[in-house]
Amino acid sequence: MSSFPACLRGYSMSTEKIREVLKRHTDELMSVRGVVGVAEGEFQGRPCIKVFVMDKTQELLRQIPETIEGFLLQIEESGEFRALGT
């Protein structure tokens, strides 16, 4: 996504709010096959939810909403997460 959706421009949300939203939706997002992590993030100076995926495919993108409770979801291809030293 190259720009922040017009419907969300100027919409201010607190860090506490995004944490609440992320807490409510983490299990749902993590249940999507190929999603390996979620986190708080920032996009164009606004809070967003980062969704980390193994492979960023069109099939996977169709399963993940563009927004949740007013927060933009930024999808990043990260590959598999591994603990350091393993």
Per residue of the chain (86 residues), give pLDDT as tens: 445 555 454 444 567 899 999 999 999 999 999 999 999 999 998 999 999 999 999 999 999 999 999 999 999 998 887 777 75
Structure tokens at 54: 């193994």
Q: How many CB atoms lie within 10 A of CB 15?
A: 9
Asked whether the beta carbons of 25 and 71 are under 8 A apart, the reply is no
pLDDT at site 85? 74
Domains observed in the chain? 13-77 (3.30.70)
Based on its alpha-carbon atoms, the radius of gyration of the chain, rounded to whole angstroms, reads 13
